[in-house]
Amino acid sequence: MTGRLNSAQPHAIGLFRIVVGLLFACHGAASLFGVLGGSSVEAGTWPGWYAAVIQLVGGGLVLLGLGTRAAALVSSGSMAYAYFKVHQPEALWPLQNGGEGAAMFCWAMLLLVFTGSGAFGLDRLFAGRGEQAGQTRPEHATAAA
């Protein structure tokens, strides 16, 4: 049973990444464009507008699995900032301060920093093309040296 679960892990991570990226990008779109029931923030305002741009772009990149680790790192950091600067001063616990979403996105994105894109990501397409063109991936290059 464990072997089957382990072999499905890249697919589960890929689906997780797609859902988290889509939801994160939707938050950004709602804040930037006032869609999906959200209200738009004024362009250039700190920190709301910048957070919305990170959410839209970072969420889109994570959704596609393109530059997943870097996009997830920036996204996780922005949610940590949102939690500690916006939500946590209101009350200690996320349930009390309305910061559940920020906390969950922060930890979900941080997980993707360590797991990578999993299956179904564009990262894998570009990695495959580099190997087909005769280039070695960095982890293989250091092992050969």
| Residue 55, CA atoms < 13 Å, CB-side half-sphere | 26
| Domain limits for position 120 | 2-144
20 contacts: CB under 8 Å, gap ≥ 6: 59, 62, 105, 108, 109, 112
pLDDT tens profile 31-73: 999 898 878 888 888 888 999 999 999 999 999 999 999 999 9
Q: What's the total number of domains in the chain?
A: 1
Residue 143 has pLDDT above 60, yes or no: no
Prediction pTM value: 0.83
Amino acid at 15: L
Amino acid at 99: G
- Range picked from 34-38, 87-91, 125-129 for highest mean pLDDT: 87-91
Choose between 66 and 138: higher pLDDT. Answer: 66
Residue 127 has pLDDT above 80, yes or no: no
Helix/strand/coil (H/E/C) assignment for every residue in the chain: CHHHHHHHHHHHHHHHHHHHHHHHHHHHHHHHHCCCCCCCCCCCCCCHHHHHHHHHHHHHHHHHCCCHHHHHHHHHHHHHHHHHHHHHHHCCCHHHHCCHHHHHHHHHHHHHHHHCCCCCCHHHHHHHHHHHCCCCCHHHHHHHC
Choose between 104 and 134: higher pLDDT. Answer: 104
- The pLDDT mean for the chain works out to 88
Whole-angstrom CA distances from 100 to 27, 63, 68, 95, 111 are 14, 21, 23, 6, 16
